[in-house]
Amino acid sequence: MRTIELLLELQDLEWAVKSPSAAEKKKIDALRKQIPPPILGHYDRLMQRGRKGIALVRHGVCTGCRMRLASGLYAQVLRGEEICLCENCARYLFLAPEERQAMEEAKAQSAEAKPKAAKKRGRPRKTEAS
């Protein structure tokens, strides 16, 4: 699992559950152990201020602060290889699941489609009348 997915799961647990049961606490602890401390630290600081640490990205916009992401940052979020922070609200950014799915479907389709030969344009050459 990617760190951002662990964070999201942690947030879901901690945000929704006011008084976690023993089983939920165990799960929270297990998640926290898998997340690198600096990332967890930043997440905790946001949560302590009563803010969600993670914001979904939809149509290139951070849903936490409704600011449009810079195109370079958005490209990073789309790649999903590294953890990205919103430049405006400092939340961790996570591509909305339906957008990730759409992107993966598009990728699968383009992989299936065979490269088309460039269509030849232009009219057939006229044979020169002699």
Contacts with Zn ion by CB under 5 A lie at 62, 64-65, 86, 88-89
Of residues 40 and 62, the one with the C-beta less far from Zn ion:
62
Q: Which of 42, 29, 24, 31 is nearest to 92 (CA)?
A: 42
Q: Read off the DSSP letter of residue 1.
A: -
Of residues 65 and 106, the one with the C-beta less far from Zn ion:
65
The nearest distance, CB 85 to Zn ion, in angstroms, is 9
What b/e readout covers 93-118, taking b as 16+ CB neighbours within 10 angstroms? bbbeeebeeeeeeeeeeeeeeeeeee
The nearest distance, CB 48 to Zn ion, in angstroms, is 18
Radius of gyration of the chain, Cα coordinates, nearest whole angstrom: 23
Of residues 27 and 42, the one with the C-beta less far from Zn ion:
42
Of residues 35 and 62, the one with the C-beta less far from Zn ion:
62
The nearest distance, CB 68 to Zn ion, in angstroms, is 10
CA distance 26 to 95: 27
The nearest distance, CB 59 to Zn ion, in angstroms, is 14
